[in-house]
A = this chain, B = another copy of it.
């Protein structure tokens, strides 16, 4: 596996250097999608640009559809405008817009100027939409006919323009009444009708539509409820604008949850690929780390306030990092469950009290168990049961607080319209670090006579 992949990359590189178009075409045809994605990410800027120059714009478009979007954007930036435009011409409208929206304005306009005018105009119209609403997710490659046309007429039209429609999503035919959306036909309705039947007489006018301004949540909700392949998008005047595919909604949904996953681990500002410049990667990670180190130092300052206690019971210094870390772990479990429940819709931001109670119950059990475990460790370390009680008691109480905060803070942040995936972790650990240190050192102060 490893050797085949490495050889593929080497062959790809040498064909690019040699400018061997035919063999390149054959190689790409023979490689699996996943091998192409992998090999492409190993090429440097110049090689990528050369490759896209060498292959047809159609194959270039297929390639850019395969690779992660940030890489597609990067690549479009690196090649000349003419090649970029001819590749973009081949993409579906939603992919065109996704890529062009990421370019700086100058590049975007230069490329749009080189594109087929109708395609460019379409992109300029669509680019105003937020990428997570129906207008931003829709494709404009759909079939629509006026209601007065007959089955025979549209069959003829379909046959005549078969090459254009080949790539269209032709599960549905939309029927219009003077440009306004009237209803939908399925291919099988056409199959089962005579040639002279007017579309008006067979159209299903009870078809659902969504508004161009509808958000991703509405669309997820829609496709959750209805088992459709796609849904037509209309504007305020019921003019048909495009078609949102289930596939694209699912992709947007999974993109959002990946983004969320990366955020909980401190990757902010979008997906990081290691092919991105080191300074950009470093800067993005630091933006989160530097907030975190500040919060950490604030939390640790609690320890500084109890330096006297600590000096007398130095053994506590061994357990403070454990208390801090374990409380973070317990709390983050609760954060993960809340983020998941929020995204499944089984819990709502206003249900703080309910979640709090559900977490307190788990926190009680887990706090006691973890408290006993660390208490035993502390006892064994110094042979002093009171040290065990101090450390175990602090962790037990802190665990209950940690899961309570962990479970509720995502709901609270969501209520405030803040991003719960990003902020929950840092807030949680700051609070539980401070409280954990405070509890352990205060308990130690109270039990001082038995500890030294």
State whether A369 touches B271 (Cβ < 8 A): no
Indicate whether A329 sits within 8 Å of B292 (C-beta atoms), given known contacts A38-B345, A170-B188, A317-B303.
yes
Nearest residue, chain B, Cβ from A363: B282
State whether B307 touches A225 (Cβ < 8 A): no
Does A446 sit at the interface, judged by CB under 8 A? no
Nearest residue, chain B, Cβ from A222: B33
State whether A285 touches B322 (Cβ < 8 A): no
Does A116 sit at the interface, judged by CB under 8 A? no
Given B37, B171, B225, which contacts A346 in the complex, CB threshold below 8 Å? Answer: B37
State whether A41 touches B346 (Cβ < 8 A): yes
Taking CB atoms, residues of chain B closer than 8 Å to A315 are 304, 307
State whether A344 touches B286 (Cβ < 8 A): no
How close is A218's CB to chain B, nearest CB, in angstroms? 9
Mark interface residues in A253-275 (1 if CB within 8 Å of B CB, else 0): 11001101110111100011111
Task: Identify whether the interface residues of A are mostly helix, strand, loop, or mixed.
Answer: helix
How close is A323's CB to chain B, nearest CB, in angstroms? 9
Indicate whether A336 sits within 8 Å of B229 (C-beta atoms), given known contacts A274-B347, A317-B303.
no
Report Cα–Cα, A166/B429, bound state, in Å: 53
Does A350 sit at the interface, judged by CB under 8 A? yes
> Which segment of A19-27, A205-213, A243-251 sits at the interface?
A243-251
Does A340 sit at the interface, judged by CB under 8 A? yes
Indicate whether A326 sits within 8 Å of B293 (C-beta atoms), given known contacts A158-B192, A321-B300, A341-B273.
yes
Report Cα–Cα, A179/B188, bound state, in Å: 24
Does A164 sit at the interface, judged by CB under 8 A? no
Report Cα–Cα, A373/B355, bound state, in Å: 38
Does A163 sit at the interface, judged by CB under 8 A? no
Does A319 sit at the interface, judged by CB under 8 A? yes
Mark interface residues in A290-312 (1 if CB within 8 Å of B CB, else 0): 10111011011101100100110
Does A175 sit at the interface, judged by CB under 8 A? no
Nearest residue, chain B, Cβ from A407: B274
State whether A229 touches B171 (Cβ < 8 A): yes
Taking CB atoms, residues of chain B closer than 8 Å to A32 are 221, 225
Indicate whether A374 sits within 8 Å of B297 (C-beta atoms), given known contacts A265-B333, A281-B362.
yes
Nearest residue, chain B, Cβ from A188: B187
Given B66, B224, B266, B318, which contacts A304 in the complex, CB threshold below 8 Å? Answer: B318
Does A153 sit at the interface, judged by CB under 8 A? no
Does A450 sit at the interface, judged by CB under 8 A? no
Does A204 sit at the interface, judged by CB under 8 A? no
How close is A15's CB to chain B, nearest CB, in angstroms? 20
Indicate whether A318 sits within 8 Å of B301 (C-beta atoms), given known contacts A278-B365, A329-B289.
yes
Nearest residue, chain B, Cβ from A296: B322
Given B292, B299, B340, which contacts A258 in the complex, CB threshold below 8 Å? Answer: B340
Interfacial residues of chain A within 324-353, with CB under 8 A of chain B in the complex: 324-326, 328-330, 332-333, 335-337, 340-341, 344-348, 350
Nearest residue, chain B, Cβ from A262: B336
Does A358 sit at the interface, judged by CB under 8 A? yes
Q: Which 9 A-B pairs have the closest CB atoms?
A: A265-B336, A187-B187, A33-B225, A41-B346, A317-B317, A261-B261, A254-B254, A282-B365, A33-B224
17 of the cross-chain contacts (CB-CB < 8 Å) are: A2-B350, A37-B344, A71-B346, A158-B188, A265-B333, A267-B340, A273-B337, A274-B337, A285-B333, A286-B365, A288-B333, A289-B326, A289-B333, A296-B325, A299-B321, A300-B322, A311-B314
